[in-house]
Amino acid sequence: MNAFIAIVRRDLLLAMRHRAEAANPLLFFVIVVALVPLGLNPRRETLELIAPGVFWIGALLATLLSLERMFRSDFDDGSLELMLISPQPLPLIVLAKILAHWLVTGLPLVLAAPPIALLLGLPTSSLAVLLTTLVLGTPTLSAVGAIGVALTVGLRRGGMLLSLLVLPLYIPVLIFAASAVSAADGLPVTGQLYLLGALAVLSFTLAPLAAAAALRISVS
Amino acid sequence: MWAFLHRFASPPHFYRRAGAIAPWLGWICLGLMAAGLYGGLVVAPPDYQQGESYRIIFVHVPSAWMSMFVYVVMAGASAIALIWRIKLAEVIAIESAPVGASFTFLALVTGSLWGKPMWGTYWVWDARLTSELILLFLYFGVMGLYAAIEDRRTAGRAAGLFAIVGVVNIPIIHYSVEWWHTLHQGPTVTKLSAPSIHVSMLVPLLLMAVSFKLFYVTVLLHRARCGVLERGRNAGWVRSLLARTEPE
Amino acid sequence: MTMTESLVDFFRMGGYAFYVWWSYVVVTVVLALNFVLPMLRHRRVRRDLAQELRFADRCDEP
For chain A, the first-to-last Cα distance in angstroms comes to 26
As a whole number, the mean pLDDT across chain A is: 88
| Chains A and B touch each other (3 or more Cβ pairs < 8 A) | yes
List Cα–Cα distances, A85 to A4, A73, A154, in angstroms.
15, 17, 17
Q: What is the domain extent for residue B97?
A: 23-43+56-186+199-231
How far apart are the CA of C2 and the nearest CA of chain B, in angstroms?
A: 16
Candidates B137, B154, B169; nearest CB to A220: B154
Tell me the DSSP string of A58-91. Answer: HHHHHHHHHHGGGTHHHHHHTHHHHHHHSSS-HH
Q: Which residues of C touch B59 (CB under 8 A)?
A: 23-24, 27
Q: What is the mean pLDDT of residues C40-48?
A: 89
- DSSP letter at B39? I
A179 in reach of chain B (CB within 8 A): yes
Higher pLDDT, A166 or B195: A166
Higher pLDDT, B140 or C13: B140
Instruction: Looking at the complex, report in whole angstroms how far the Cα of residue B243 sits from the nearest Cα belonging to chain C.
Output: 8
| Contact residues on chain C for B99, CB-CB shorter than 8 A | 34
Neighbours of chain C (3+ CB pairs under 8 A): B
Residue from the list A147, A167, A179 with its beta carbon closest to the beta carbon of B165: A147
Taking an 8 Å cut-off on Cβ atoms, the answer to whether C30 and B59 are in contact is: no
Number of domains in chain B: 1
Q: How far apart are CA A217 and CA A155, in angstroms?
A: 13
Q: What percent of chain A shows pLDDT beyond 90?
A: 38
Distance in angstroms (rounded) separating the CA atoms of residues C37 and A111: 54
Selection from B27, B26, B7 nearest residue B17 by Cα: B7
Give the model's pLDDT for residue B187.
42
A-chain CB neighbours of B82 within 8 Å are: 213
What's C11's DSSP letter?
Answer: H
Using the beta-carbon criterion (under 8 Å), do A217 and B168 form an inter-chain contact? no
The predicted pLDDT at position C5 comes to: 76
Q: What is the pTM of this model?
A: 0.89
| DSSP H or E stretch at residue B105 | helix B87-119
Q: Is the pLDDT at C44 greater than 50, yes or no?
A: yes
Within a domain: B127: yes
- Listed residue (B73, B108, B65) closest to B94, CA to CA: B73
**Mutation site, B134, B142, B145, B154, interface A, largest A CB count within 10 A:** B145
Looking at this predicted complex, what is its ipTM?
Answer: 0.88
Average pLDDT score over residue span A16-24: 83
Q: Which of A147, A154, A131 minimizes the C-alpha distance to A74? A: A154
Cβ contacts of C33 on chain B, cutoff 8 Å: 102
Contact assessment for residue B198 and residue B170, using Cβ atoms and an 8 Å cutoff: no
Written as one letter, the residue type at B101 is A
Number of domains in chain A: 1
Amino acid at B145: L
Spans of all domains in chain C: 23-62
- For residue B165, tell me if it sits in a domain: yes
Give the pLDDT confidence of A198-210 residue by residue, as tens digits: 999 999 999 999 9
Domain that holds residue A37: 2-218
DSSP class of B189: -
Residue C23 has pLDDT above 60, yes or no: yes
B51: phi > 0 → left, psi -120 to 50 → alpha, else beta; which?
left
Query: Closest Cα partner for A218 from B142, B149, B75, B94?
Result: B149
Q: Does B197 touch chain C (CB under 8 A)?
A: no
pLDDT at B102: 96
How far B151 CA lies from chain A's nearest CA (Å)?
10
SS3 state at A18: coil
Judging contacts by C-beta atoms under 8 Å, the chain A residues touching residue B158 are 151, 214, 217-218
Q: Is residue B203 part of a domain?
A: yes
The answer to whether B147 faces chain A, any CB pair under 8 Å, is no
Note whether B161 contacts A151, CB cutoff 8 Å. Answer: yes
Q: Is A220 on the interface with B (CB under 8 A)?
A: yes
Distance CA C14, CA C24 (A): 16
**Pair A165, B138: CB distance under 8 Å:** no
Q: Which long-range contacts (CB under 8 A, 24 or more apart) does B127-130 make?
A: B127/B174, B127/B177, B127/B178, B127/B180, B127/B181, B127/B182, B128/B64, B130/B177, B130/B181
Q: What is chain B's pLDDT, residue by residue, as a tens digit (248 residues)?
A: 667 667 777 888 888 888 888 899 999 999 999 999 988 888 877 776 777 778 888 899 899 999 999 999 999 999 999 998 888 899 999 999 999 999 999 999 998 888 888 777 888 777 778 888 999 999 999 999 999 988 888 899 999 999 999 988 888 887 887 777 776 654 444 444 555 667 778 888 899 999 999 999 999 999 999 988 888 777 777 777 777 665 54
Q: Does the beta-carbon distance from C23 to B109 stay under 8 Å?
A: yes
Residue B152: its pLDDT value, please?
Answer: 85
B87 in contact with chain A, both atoms CB, cutoff 8 A: no
Q: Give percent of chain A above pLDDT 70.
A: 100
- What are B47's strand-pairing partners? B51
pLDDT-derived band at C61 (thresholds 50, 70, 90) equals low
Q: Which pLDDT tens digit goes with each residue over A181-201?
A: 888 777 778 888 898 999 999
* Rounded CA separation B159/A151 (Å): 8
**A67 pLDDT more than 70:** yes
Q: What pLDDT is attached to residue B10?
A: 82
Residue B123 domain-assigned (yes or no):
yes
What are phi and psi for residue B193, nearest 5 degrees? Answer: -80, 130
Q: So what's the pLDDT on residue A178? A: 87
Q: With an 8 Å Cβ cutoff, is B112 touching chain C?
A: no
Predicted confidence band of residue A91 (pLDDT cuts 50, 70, 90): very high
Beta-carbon count within 10 A of B88 CB: 24
Question: Do A and C have ≥3 inter-chain CB pairs under 8 A?
Answer: no
Cβ contact (<8 Å) for B222 and C13? Answer: no
Report in angstroms the alpha-carbon separations of C26 from A44, B107, B216, C30.
45, 10, 17, 6
